[in-house]
Amino acid sequence: MNIYDISVPVSGDLPTFPGDPRVELAPVTRIARGDSANVTRIVMASHSGTHLDAPRHYNDHGISVDHLPLTLLIGKALVADIRGVKEIGRHELARLPIGGEQRLLIRTDNSLLWDRPGFSDEYAGLTADGAQYLVEKGVRLVGIDYLSVEAFSGNGEIHRLLLGNGVVIVEGLNLDGVAAGSYELICLPLKLKGGDGAPARVVLRGRGGEHGGEEFDPHTTRWPIS
Backbone dihedral region of 84: left (phi > 0), alpha (psi from -120 to 50 degrees) or beta?
left
DSSP sequence for 146-189: SS-SB-TT--SHHHHHHHHTT-EEEES---TTPPSEEEEEEEEE
E strands, 22-180, in order: 24-29, 39-43, 51-53, 74-81, 87-88, 103-107, 125-126, 141-144, 168-171
Sorted by sequence, the CB contacts under 8 Å of residue 169 that are 6+ apart come out as: 52, 53, 57, 141, 142, 143, 144, 149, 159, 162, 163
The one-letter code for the residue type at 105 is: L
Residue 57 is among the residues annotated as catalytic for this protein: yes
State the Cα–Cα distance between residues 91 and 96, nearest whole angstrom.
10
- Answer whether 167's CB lies under 8 Å from 126's CB: no
Candidate list 57, 91, 159, 219, residue with the active-site label: 57
Active site residues: 57
